[in-house]
Structure 1
């Protein structure tokens, strides 16, 4: 079930929070929704769920606006606020109330408490929950209707390393079941390990969308050689046809684009040139994000 955002705009007086935004989120993958603070991520997600009315454009789930879905909570599970709990309710109370409100069977509650690792805290009042436990309870609430689409705003906030590892595995399993998973997060190292695709916005506008590894481009190879000058000439002749590039990276070191590490090693051997070190350098999601969202990058 696709998420489709088409020419979406939201203005608050003289402030344009989202401007002519268009992107698609596919099922079966985890998509990271990224942008600096104030970029318009939360506003966009709230427009997807009908909590904010667009100034223009459309935001649909499975081809329909959220308000026209027959049973919204059975189609979309959303987590926007990690503190949306009555402090006097237990985790079990909270889930039973939401299940009754949405018409979901009470039997879902026990199953979700087990699934989210909250069975041991089911009868504790939420006022004593840690941030990580609140995140788990939020996810359980979103899953009450067994939805095909999940919209999660900063779901890893407050999680310790074990909790983050659990969340990665949990969301990956949901995507592998064919669900559509859209998460916004500032923890780029976590998104890099989890997300297949990314949507990056800046000041309410789209700057990039697609598989993040493709957006990052092919890796480069850093090579150290006492024969760097002759190796550079041989490499340049080889990678020129592949739109590659060879540049100096310090004394006796070269940075190569357009040829992988085995290819560099084979070429050096063919020319009887010495190689002391080969390192494959991949662009991290953080590097890509900063390149796409800083003022310097945006004005290129």
Structure 2
């Protein structure tokens, strides 16, 4: 391992269960210092892949390493990796404090760390309540507290926002952003694409166990479109497609209403300058960045990958 900045490297990872291939020849890298979203339809192989990263599932072939080492070779795994996979991994008779103390003792961490995490995760008032009475959101918080006992450099989170109220989701977003800003590594799977879009920097998208796309959201989404409102929409479309300063490649202009155009291939200032030069009225320019949901659907439908 090099320093405290630990990348996750997945190389040609494959997992078969009899005749069923859950993950196939999967390769990608999760970089430190950013939050990476791990996306795919149900059954795509996300949870299986994350479990292989932590040694809970043995790969049929390929490797998954953290800081250059397989999970089983890490000197103190819980100091390196915190993982949340199961929101119900609690003894129903234990209190929140009991649960954390058991795992703290297993990892060799002091009770003071338990108190710190109960405060950090907003569980101090529920510390002496039995986990059988916890809501889904409280279970998610306790799971995350368990993963953080060793103050790890890497977090692997499978659907951590399930059951959280808006305040909890906002807190989680801020916490993970700060965690990544400290140079740590975050891989988070989620189906709540609207929420995860506000959190992630990079995405890894898989389908049927194989890689579809990986990289920064901004690069995968492509250049934004510009929505233009103009009472002279037809005249403006003619001006934009006849632009001689466009390097020989005409922008794509689509009418989306009587007075509205969607323009790809020119940015908003260029559109405004051309309109002004040709005395064409423009009432509004809105930059449209594709949503993560649109990107996800584009990448994972049969048409997109056929």
1:97 CA drift (Å): 0.2
- Aligned counterpart, 2:77: 72
- Tell whether the 8 Å contact from 1:17 to 1:203 is kept in structure 2 after alignment: yes
Does 2:207 correspond to 1:187? Answer: no
1:1-300 aligned within 5 A? 1-238=6-243, 240-241=246-247, 243=249, 244-299=251-306
Question: Does the 8 Å contact 1:242/1:258 carry over to 2?
Answer: no
Structure 1 residue 73, shift from structure 2 partner: 0.6
TM-score by length of 2: 0.95
C-alpha displacement of 1:242 = 7.5
| CA distance in 2 between partners of 1:156 and 1:26 (Å) | 22
Instruction: Tell me the SS of whatever aligns to 1:167.
Output: helix
After superposition, the C-alpha distances for 1:202-238 in whole angstroms (9 at most, x for unaligned) are 0001001011122111111121323223321221233
Range with greater deviation from structure 2 (106-115 or 90-99): 106-115
Distance 1:242 1:48 in 2: 48
SS at match of 2:93: coil
Q: CA offset at residue 240 of structure 1?
A: 4.2
CA distance in 2, matches of 1:268, 1:278: 11
Structure 2 gaps, min length 5: 1-5
Structure 1 residue 50 displacement after superposition: 0.3
Q: Which runs of 5+ in 1 are unaligned?
A: none
Q: Is the partner of 1:109 in helix, strand or coil?
A: helix
Q: CA deviation at 1:104?
A: 1.8
Q: Counterparts of 1:62 and 1:35 in 2: how far apart (Å)? A: 25
Whole-angstrom distance in 2 between the partners of 1:277 and 1:176: 36
Query: Is the Cα contact below 8 Å between 1:188 and 1:286 reproduced in 2?
Result: yes
Deviations 1:18-69 (A, max 9, x none): 0110000011111000000000000000000001111111000000000011
- Give me the whole-angstrom Cα distance separating, in 1, the residues matched to 2:66 and 2:178: 21
Over 4 Å off, 4+ runs: none
Q: CA RMSD in A?
A: 1.3
TM-score by length of 1: 0.96
- Per-residue CA deviation, residues 256-285 of structure 1 (Å, 9 max, x unaligned), is 112222321221011101123322211000
| Deviation (angstroms), 1:246 | 1.9
